Amino acid sequence: MQAQPQLDVQDAPVSTAEVQGSHGAFELGAIRNDWSREEVAAVYNTPLLDLVYKAASVHRMYNDPQMVQRCTLLSIKTGGCPETCNYCAQSSSWSKDVGLKAEKLMDLDSVYEAALRAKEAGSTRFCMGAAWRGPTQVGKRQWERVLDMVGKIRGLNMEVCTTLGMLTPEQAAQLRTAGLTAYNHNLDTSPEYYPKVTSSRKYQDRLDTLQSVREAGISVCAGGIIGLGEGPKDRVGLIHQLATLPEHPESVPINALVAVAGTPMQDNKPPSAVDIVRCVATARVTMPRSVVRLSAGRLNFSLTDQALCFMAGANSIFDGDKLLTTKNNERNADLEMFEELGLKSRPAFVPYPAGASSSDGSAVHGTAAAQHLAGANQLATAATVAAVQQQAVASS
């Protein structure tokens, strides 16, 4: 087992600074799952510069502020989704208005090649999304193909994340055995506002899937979307829900809505950069050890906007020019941003303080992914031996 890279940060708060809420002061940087909505609201409503300062202070207690992970997201099954998420271009309910045709599940080799390209470009986590209500709606062969994708890509020594809809405990266990690092299942918004987002499932359905993921020993990736028409109290409600889960998520994606023509939310006003900064900072203060992922919508933000997000505690981005069905920042532009801001890419399997063992690379042994990893190592060793032999022949 290779030694895992370590972050040069402390594992406990180094500040006794406090935040004043309606129920009294609380320690800045404390790990808690008992936040009240009033306390989260007090954080969220802190004057912006003061909030960013507090969030940056918490960020430095647990994380290297220069280290930002680069992830790649691929839609392995596009369109034809039976869900009715009003923001999503992939719902079959308005596919004609959007002009998006349903596609078949990609084949294993094509997905593997995409992962190879992502790794060569510097991504250390490869995420796969399928426009399903859940694996239960598809046949056994398709599900097994997805499990094979997980194992083979994990064999590249990349972190692997999937977002496949609602899971049963059995399906979560199968993903764990395949070598999955994390499972993404966003809560989207507050429980109260959720009925305005979709009518095809309940908020509790989302929470049940997160429970199945946790019980399977897979790290949870759960966040939300800003710009669904919600108000500040709903943003507070979303973050409160995440911060009071039994365990804080390994990762918390903060997405800015990218409105798609033809969807019910096509005319929604996009959130401002300040809106996103405020949500990132509140997530960082209330979930100090989680990775806060600056996700969809970055294309609308300047380098300065993004820099403020990183200052406030964001420490991951999706790179590549596409996120599922919407445009994203180009890789070269992100590399230039990293250079200008003095950021460095987070390696794969740096231990995640809020993650399960699936996130630190230690859980691959005994899984299907271990076989792929062993095979990849054998191929690399064989290539090295061949190169040495060729050199010996050439010099003789």
> So which residues are the catalytic ones?
81, 85, 88, 127, 161, 221, 293
Neighbours of 385 (CB within 10 A): 10
Assess contact for 242 and 283: CB atoms under 8 A.
Answer: yes
Q: Which residues pair with 162 in a beta bridge?
A: 128, 183
Q: Where are the beta strands (DSSP E) in 250-330?
A: 251-256, 291-294, 314-318, 322-323, 326-327
As a whole number of angstroms, the distance between CA 217 and CA 173 comes to: 8
* Nearest C-alpha neighbor of 216 from the set 114, 99, 121, 357: 357
Assess contact for 226 and 257: CB atoms under 8 A.
Answer: yes
Strands 18-21 and 24-27: antiparallel
Three-state SS for 377?
A: helix
As a whole number of angstroms, the distance between CA 271 and CA 93 comes to: 25
Three-state SS for 372?
A: helix
Q: Which residues pair with 317 in a beta bridge?
A: 70, 294
As a whole number of angstroms, the distance between CA 202 and CA 219 comes to: 22
Assess contact for 95 and 168: CB atoms under 8 A.
Answer: no
Assess contact for 260 and 89: CB atoms under 8 A.
Answer: yes
Tokens coding 231: 């108000």
As a whole number of angstroms, the distance between CA 20 and CA 27 comes to: 9
* Nearest C-alpha neighbor of 273 from the set 299, 292, 253: 299
